[in-house]
Amino acid sequence: MKTYLRLLSFARPIGKYAIPYIICTIITVVFGTLNLALLVPLLQVLFKGTGDKNLENVSAVSKPETLDDIGGWFTYYADRLYQDLGPYEALKYVCIVIITSVFISNLFRYLSQRVMENLRIHTLLNLRKAVFDNVMDLHLGFFTNSRKGDVMSKIASDVQVVQFSVTSTLQVIFKEPLQLIAYIIVLFGLSTKLTLFSLAVIPVSAFFISMIVKKLRQQAREGQQSYANMISYLDEALSGVKIIKAFNATPFVKDRFNGESAYYSKIMRRMVRRQQMSSPVSELLGVVMVAVILLYGGNLVLTGQGELAASEFIGYIAIFSQVMRPAKALTDSFSNIHNGIAAGERVLALIDEKSSVTDKLDAKAITTFEEEITFRDVDFAYGEKQVLKNINMVIPKGKTVALVGPSGGGKSTLIDLIPRFMDVTHGAILLDGIDVRDLQQESLRNMIGTVNQETVLFNDSIFNNIAFAKPNVTMEEVTHAARIANAHDFILKTEQGYDTNIGDRGAKLSGGQRQRICIARAVLRNPPIMLLDEATSALDTESEKLVQDSLYKLMENRTTVVIAHRLSTIQSADLIVVIENGQIVEQGNHHDLIDKDGLYKRLIDMQQFID
């Protein structure tokens, strides 16, 4: 119940939808019940009477003594019509009243459904926004430890399940009990004795239905996890299709995906089997109940022991047969709600996930960079795995610092700590003497540009990829950035120039072209600090030269921290920091480190860097 109520909180402001829905539903229920109640006067007109069991030489019905005797008033006026106009004319008037009642009932049922649909869409929008906004605010470590397909499944599929099951249940929970109460009130009005007997049978039906839907929630949770795994496998297959084919791994990938798909289908079959079983079982129990009432009540009418006339008893049976419809709807909703609750728990878990990198309440905004970046006794660990230990260095403004060392030494992690993609676990990183944890993340990252080894482009035009996150940028500014990045010439040769769509992750461009687009994006941002992970080793000679030339232009007059892969970049750096196993083992310029004859010299001798 707690999960359900919390999911409903995303429907706020619910009053905007609840009040019109309640009004429309009440009118629907009143006139829907009236449609069946009118069967009694209709049958009495057809039987040429009003309440006598003899049905011959009938006398006029007396006027009801109280205003709340609605059925009595209908019977009275039907009898008056019968007496004044004759049976056929009376029958016409009764039919007109029934048609009018049915029209009003269905009109307001349609309006209530419209209101509920608006509430459903409103809830979906709020829930999906809350999930996505929270995911985008999470620290990078969350995405390192999570499967992308699982996150995608929660945002896309699970939210949709919550929308249809939870909000649909909200509709049923209000309308169907109200309809059920209305029917029971009419039944009590017709015969208290028979209705008390009827209600004694209903708990038996409820017991059987509860046994059927008992395990649905656990199965729903397993099904949604399996679906998430399937989405993960699909994402990995589509992202790595080239590698999959290169390694002849297509059969393996097919078997993995199809195996998970088969398991998901198995769970869905079990769930559907249970859900579909509840409907026929409840219908069968309903018919059994009607048959029992028919035997018991019919015997009372036939023997003259009951309080009902034949026409009233037929109307009673007709109304009681409808009692099972809202009862069945409630049964189905309790069956479906397990899907929504299981999906809701997964969605709420993602909303409750907290970022380990947050701004302090008194965090400062920074607009300029004047002096230096300082690493002071910095440690960083992923859980119990120590990645960086006791890092101390200073990066003066306008200087280039090259990070070198064996793979896995912690160079990329060190760079990621500067813009606070993650926070240090010990020590501090200072920007102009201020701990970066005391700065607003947005203002800090506005001071920093990044070009990663892995190019990150979007399925959009070249212009929009360069102008990413800068909506008011002009064509002149974009072309200027592209020229600096040595990208302008190849862009003009594409099919539509800067309006050319580059495909998923830039698939329509070569590696060197993608990298230069990323560099142009960084140039356009024009930040005082650049973080570079050179990515030229996988490029052909011509592309490598163009990209490297672009990087040199990007580094001009900026404070740059670069993970260096080229000897020319290392030699021209103002400071070279050699990192091994998460620790700084050497610092200095190229000539000083060569003279030390340490790890740096060995890396050079092993041709670890190529010029």
**Hey, which CATH number is domain 2-352, 3.90.1570.10, 3.40.50.2300, 3.40.50.620, 1.20.1560.10?**
1.20.1560.10
- pLDDT, the chain, mean: 80
**Hey, which CATH number is domain 458-526, 3.40.50.300, 3.40.50.410, 3.90.220.20, 3.30.70.20?**
3.40.50.300
CB atoms under 10 Å from CB of 473, counted, come to 16
- Look at 288 and 73; give whichever has higher pLDDT: 288
pLDDT digits (tens, 9 = 90+) for 408-426: 889 989 999 999 989 999 9
What is residue 193's predicted lDDT score, i.e. its pLDDT?
Answer: 78
pLDDT digits (tens, 9 = 90+) for 208-244: 666 665 666 677 778 777 887 888 787 777 777 766 7
How far, in Å, are 5, 204, 387, 470, 604 from residue 316 at the CA level? 38, 21, 78, 70, 97
State the Cα–Cα distance between residues 423 and 418, nearest whole angstrom: 9
> What three-state secondary structure class fits 392?
strand
Give me the count of residues in the chain. Answer: 611
State the Cα–Cα distance between residues 405 and 413, nearest whole angstrom: 13
What is residue 536's predicted lDDT score, i.e. its pLDDT?
Answer: 60
State the Cα–Cα distance between residues 553 and 481, nearest whole angstrom: 11
Q: Which residues, other chains included, contact 339 with Cβ-Cβ below 8 Å and sequence gap of 6+?
A: 161, 165, 216, 220, 271
Domain parsing of the chain, residue ranges: 2-352, 458-526
Axis crossing angle, helix 87-137 with helix 39-46, rounded to the nearest 10: 160
- The type of residue at 420 is R
State the Cα–Cα distance between residues 466 and 471, nearest whole angstrom: 11
Kindly give the pairing relationship between strand 434-435 and strand 426-431.
antiparallel
- Look at 81 and 46; give whichever has higher pLDDT: 81
Q: Specify the DSSP element, H or E, that contains 228.
A: helix 216-239
Task: Give the bridge partners for 501, in sequence order.
Answer: 461
- The type of residue at 431 is L
Q: Does 341 have pLDDT greater than 70?
A: yes
This prediction's pTM? 0.70
Cα of first residue to Cα of last residue in the chain, in angstroms, is 66
* b/e map 257-271, b = 16+ CB within 10 Å: beebbeebeebeeeb
State the Cα–Cα distance between residues 363 and 357, nearest whole angstrom: 13
Whose tokens are 């009801």? That residue is: 64
Find the angle CA(309)-CA(311)-CA(315) to the nearest 5 degrees: 115
Q: Are 457 and 465 in contact, with CB atoms under 8 Å apart?
A: yes
State the Cα–Cα distance between residues 15 and 525, nearest whole angstrom: 45
Q: How confident is the model at residue 575 (pLDDT cuts 50, 70, 90)?
A: very high
State the Cα–Cα distance between residues 52 and 405, nearest whole angstrom: 104
- The type of residue at 108 is F
Closest C-alpha to 322, from 268, 274, 286 = 286
State the Cα–Cα distance between residues 420 and 357, nearest whole angstrom: 7
Q: Which residues, other chains included, contact 193 with Cβ-Cβ below 8 Å and sequence gap of 6+?
A: 306, 307
